[in-house]
Amino acid sequence: MELEENIEEKIEEFIKEKKYTELKALLKEMKSADISAILDDLNKEEAVIVFRLLSKEKAGMTFSYMETDMREKLIQNLTDSELKSVLDELFMDDTVDLIEEMPSNVVTRILRTVNRNDRKIINELLKYPDDSAGSVMTTEFIDLRENMTIEQALDRIRKIGTDSETIYTCYVLDKDRILKGIIDIKDILLAKEDSLIHDLMETNIISVNTLEDQEEVAKAFDKYDLYALPVVDNENRLVGIITVDDAMDVLQEEVDEDFNKMAAISPTEDGYFETSVFKHAKSRIVWLLVLMLSSAITGAIITNYENAFAAVPVLVAFIPMIMGTGGNCGSQSSTLIIRGLATDELELKDVFKILWKEIRVAVIVGVILALVNGLRIFIQYDSLQLAVTIGLSITVTIIMAKSIGCLLPLLAKKLKLDPAIMAAPLISTIVDILSILIFFQIATLIMGL
């Protein structure tokens, strides 16, 4: 499975020694995804040499896997006819992705190169909002008619199949291009030649509107085990399809986004190395500032109890433990709830069931941690008062932390915000404030400060 490390060295060697015949033979044996990974690591001149040695079809495939900056460099070094042959091989959704990420001078060149009909389709596709079904769909699919026989359908598939992104599922349209049914290639192949498409097609169709959020689209693939999903406009006319490989990319993008939000990082579009140091700093500083200033509240509360820790200085030593345990418990609950909401396993209506479950878990966890810690403190400091103070504070903090950890993501969902913003960093900061209050309040009461 692993790509051999030395293939990259071999390619660089062939380039250096101008062994182009050997290089071409090697490239022929390689997968486009692997070639693109290597191209991304080469310098511009080397990349152009390698790219020119690829067959027309493979060049297109390889191009569709490449990173933005290398694509741009490559395009600027290709002749118009080379560019045209790459664009011919790309499916519409890939061409549109390319246009969206290129600077305007490259876009002009691309639009000048494609034919008039494609240019019209591209301009239509560019109008769909980011992250909508319309923006990830492709317009190349097999369309059939209800009154076709299997034989006629097979003829049509053979005629337009080469240019379609998939022939696995075919779409049955009426004269107004309204989607009437879908039929799997398996059902076409297994049927008698004179059967009618109308009698074999599935009419209970899962489809999405062009404006549907791409995250919902990806979830539908996962839920219904789909290979392709038709995209229709408001009049139920079929305008495109989304294939499972694109849905998988969307799923990965959304997971990346959730991971970032949960670590208090604003979403970035590009990969780790392609994002500049300044962009990285920018995407991380906003939340850090907010959280840092919020922690001043915790600080102010502590100042309020100055007399308490002046009398019993050892209390200060337990601040990290109380705050840390509270933060960890809160982030455990919030992570489970955020992920459950993201995969549709949990729903808003389950709020009381979830809260009740979290409280019971919190009581068990809280009592055990309190006992372990209380015992340690009793042995170490020989003070029952201190042991009870810490034990009780931990239990109450954990119940509070788990309740907040599960409620805030649900509240965000209710307010139609992304639950992922209510993740570890924000929860920790809120839990910090409350746990310090709980801790000093309990200490003041029990130790009579």
In angstroms, give the least distance from the CB of 105 to its own copies: 29
Q: Look at residues 153, 195, 431 and name the one whose alpha carbon lies nearest to residue 295.
A: 431
Q: Which residue type does 105 have?
A: N
Q: Quote the CA–CA distance of 87 and 153 in Å, as a whole number.
A: 28
Residue with tokens 């008698």: 192
Residue among 121 and 354 whose Cβ is closer to its own copies:
354
Residue among 114 and 244 whose Cβ is closer to its own copies:
244
201 in helix, strand or coil? Answer: coil
Residue among 17 and 245 whose Cβ is closer to its own copies:
245
In angstroms, give the least distance from the CB of 295 to its own copies: 4
Q: Kindly state the DSSP code that residue 182 receives in the 8-state scheme.
A: E
Residues sharing a CB contact under 8 Å with residue 4, sequence separation 6 or more, in sequence order: none
Residue among 38 and 78 whose Cβ is closer to its own copies:
38
Contact 331, 423 (CB under 8 A): yes
C-alpha triplet 9, 13, 15: angle, nearest 5°: 120
In angstroms, give the least distance from the CB of 20 to its own copies: 20
Residue among 113 and 240 whose Cβ is closer to its own copies:
240
Residue among 69 and 80 whose Cβ is closer to its own copies:
69
**Computed over its alpha carbons, how large is the radius of gyration of the chain?**
30
In angstroms, give the least distance from the CB of 108 to its own copies: 30
In angstroms, give the least distance from the CB of 218 to its own copies: 9
In angstroms, give the least distance from the CB of 15 to its own copies: 21
In angstroms, give the least distance from the CB of 259 to its own copies: 5
Residue with tokens 């055990």: 368
Q: Look at residues 234, 177, 245, 238 and name the one whose alpha carbon lies nearest to residue 211.
A: 234
DSSP string, 229-281: EEEE-TT-BEEEEEEHHHHHHHHHHHHHHHHHHHTT----SS-TTTS-HHHHH
In angstroms, give the least distance from the CB of 119 to its own copies: 26
Characterise 225 by phi-psi region: left (phi > 0), alpha (psi -120 to 50), beta (else): left
In angstroms, give the least distance from the CB of 107 to its own copies: 25
Residue among 47 and 369 whose Cβ is closer to its own copies:
369
Residue among 127 and 259 whose Cβ is closer to its own copies:
259
In angstroms, give the least distance from the CB of 111 to its own copies: 26
Please give the C-alpha separations between residue 217 and each of 91, 132, 221, in angstroms, as whole numbers. Answer: 20, 9, 7
Q: Quote the CA–CA distance of 303 and 305 in Å, as a whole number.
A: 5
Q: How many CB atoms lie within 10 A of CB 107?
A: 16
Q: Quote the CA–CA distance of 188 and 174 in Å, as a whole number.
A: 19
Residue among 127 and 267 whose Cβ is closer to its own copies:
267
Q: Kindly state the DSSP code that residue 79 receives in the 8-state scheme.
A: -
Structure tokens given for 264: 């208090």
Q: Kindly state the DSSP code that residue 4 receives in the 8-state scheme.
A: P
Residue among 106 and 411 whose Cβ is closer to its own copies:
411
238 forms beta bridges with 232
Residue among 123 and 343 whose Cβ is closer to its own copies:
343
In angstroms, give the least distance from the CB of 175 to its own copies: 26
Contact 295, 432 (CB under 8 A): yes
Q: Quote the CA–CA distance of 113 and 93 in Å, as a whole number.
A: 17
347 in helix, strand or coil? Answer: coil
Residue among 104 and 303 whose Cβ is closer to its own copies:
303
In angstroms, give the least distance from the CB of 302 to its own copies: 5
